Amino acid sequence: MTTTLINRLKPSSAASISSGRLWFVMGLLVALAVMVPVAALGFEALGGSMALWQHLAAYVLPQALIETLILLCGVGLVVMVVGTGSAWLVTAYEFPGRRVLEWALLLPLAVPTYIIAYAYLDLLHPLGPVQGLIRAILGYDSPRQFRLPDIRSMAGCILLLGFVLYPYVYITTRAMFMTQAANLVEAARMLGVSRSGIFFRIALPLARPAIAVGVSLALMESLNDIGASEFLGVRTLTISVYTTWVTRSDLAGAAQIALAMLMIVVAVVAIERLARRRQRYFSAAKQARRFAPLPLSRGAGIAALGFGLVPVLIGFAAPAIYLAVEAMKRIETNGLSTRLIGELGNTLGLASAATLVVLVLGTTVAYMARALPGSLTQLLMRLSTLGYAMPGTVVALGVLIPLATLDGMIDRQAQALFGVSTGLLLIGSGAALIFAYAVRFMAIAAGSAETGFARIPTSLDQAARSLGRNVNGTFFAICLPLSRPALAAAGLLVFVDCMKELPATLLLRPLNVETLATHLYAEAARGTYEEAAVAALAIVLAGLLPVILLARIGRR
């Protein structure tokens, strides 16, 4: 009897090995799928003629590359100053409204870059409300007498992108400031170092890795942007890929420019890693504690609150209020159009399907790395998350090339066997767009799943194995239930990112299918801003969901 019970509790080694191999194969397939767009870009670029490459190198790439680098340098400087300064302000000082400001500084994350450009193009138009109010105050009657500098410029693009993307630096840097030990700060103050000296000589050097990570994320988002840059008249590499592909019908040339963009992304990541490769921090965990914020006087506190609210006003409040007012006017005048309702359905359907796919695949690679620890599985895990570093335009182009070829093969086989043409089966059904979303946002799901699994003691896995559970059984009985909060948060972030994604959606959506993002892009390109206010407001409201989630996590 006892022997029988022990045999039942013992795991089946053959079943365990078989299920482990299954997870490895699935993780390998996910990693290969993510690498397909990169390989396709390389093959397509090599297929282009040398004359085409010489034309791009002589007339297209120099201007686009220079403007892209200027934009990246400018945005990097703005997000570094604004993000680091606001993080230090709410961490090091105590003043009225500080707790509200802590989460309010996250709000610009809810506004996609193309929506901020769309809103300010109308707000700061020579005939818009801002310049009209200024002329009324100064006593002018016409834009010919007074007008502000045109927002359609490199400086305008840098400022607007900077005030939308600074939260990437704010989040990482504030987390670093909050975990810095109070004993270091107190020792500096005992030695007579001022508060500003503590910031520049202690806090800032210790926060360099966090700042580098935040800036690199903001730069990759800037490189991914297509709407804001085009609306504001800045010809970046992303715009060049789009125009070369769509306007000139030159797929090989677009692939060559996309490879140049990939090189910039690799350079940004390499510089970020190089900047902190020798950073090492040693502290006694038992003695480490957060330093207390310094209370400010009433006047200084009001000034600090005012300075902290400036990026919130520019990056969120002003465009959000404008969109709400314009959307209400539109709804009161014409009601909610059935076309917009259909576009909302398309957006929710595509985002929901992509979120489900991304969660399944991301969880697969994360659990593979946990169940089969080793250098190979870790490599597959990292390869699976490379898509997040690639701009949406690059991903879309890399996805289109192999799927268009596959569509052609399926169509030819269907005609030969059944006499029926399948047409663009993958691209026309939206499968290509969902694939692009999966490649682009796999890192969010995989990273969240990895974090959720890391909080589960491995002893639970071992206990489940000793009771007869194989790798599959351990996943469904232990890891999946205990990591549901992390996976739910990942699903929310992926869903909202899919709703906001413009470049990939613009290039890969099926014919006659519009989403809220593409509707907004088309209306803004035509200059009919009032028609797109409702769609823009819907995207912003959806973007508030992950911001609320981040604020709750930060409060904990």
Residue 459 has pLDDT above 70, yes or no: yes
Cβ-contact 483, 456 below 8 angstroms? yes
Residue 12 has pLDDT above 60, yes or no: no
Least Cα distance to 514 among 339, 381, 284, 259 occurs for 339
Span 64-84, average pLDDT: 92
Angle between helices 13-47 and 431-454 (to 10 degrees): 130
**Sequence spans of domains, the chain:** 12-47+336-413+421-514
Q: What is the pLDDT of residue 296?
A: 87
Residue 115 has pLDDT above 80, yes or no: yes
CA 427 distance to own-chain centroid: 24
pLDDT band, residue 524 (cuts 50/70/90): confident
Q: What is the pLDDT of residue 243?
A: 81
Least Cα distance to 315 among 189, 206, 218 occurs for 218
Q: Give the pLDDT confidence of 134-182 residue by residue, as tens digits.
A: 888 888 888 787 888 888 899 999 999 999 999 989 988 887 787 665 6
Burial of 427 per CB tally in 10 Å (0-12, 13-18, 19+) = buried
CA 342 distance to own-chain centroid: 26
Residue 41 has pLDDT above 90, yes or no: no
Long-range contacts of 98-104 (CB under 8 A, 24+ apart): 98/293, 98/304, 98/305, 101/305, 101/308, 101/309, 101/312, 102/551, 102/554, 102/555, 103/547, 103/551, 103/554, 103/555, 104/309, 104/312
Q: What is the pLDDT of residue 10?
A: 45
DSSP annotation of 181 reads: B
Q: Give the pLDDT confidence of 325-349 residue by residue, as tens digits.
A: 888 888 887 777 778 888 889 999 9
Report the number of secondary-structure helices (H) and strands (E) in the chain. Answer: 30, 2
Residue 78 has pLDDT above 90, yes or no: yes
Please calculate the CA angle 158-212-269 and round it to the nearest 5 degrees.
Answer: 90
Cβ-contact 415, 421 below 8 angstroms? yes
Q: What is the CATH number of domain 12-47+336-413+421-514?
A: 1.10.3720.10
Q: Give the pLDDT confidence of 267-315 residue by residue, as tens digits.
A: 777 776 666 665 555 444 444 556 677 888 888 999 999 999 999 999 9
Question: What is the share, in percent, of the chain residues with pLDDT greater than 70?
Answer: 87
Exposure of 217 in the CB half-sphere (CA atoms within 13 A): 20
Cβ-contact 543, 110 below 8 angstroms? yes
Q: Which residue has the tokens 């929710």?
A: 348
At 411, list the tokens. 């169509």
Question: What is the share, in percent, of the chain residues with pLDDT greater than 90?
Answer: 19
At 395, list the tokens. 């991903």
Distance CA(225)–CA(239), nearest Å, equals: 9
Q: What is the pLDDT of residue 4?
A: 45
Distance CA(50)–CA(154), nearest Å, equals: 32
Q: What mean pLDDT is reported for the chain? A: 82
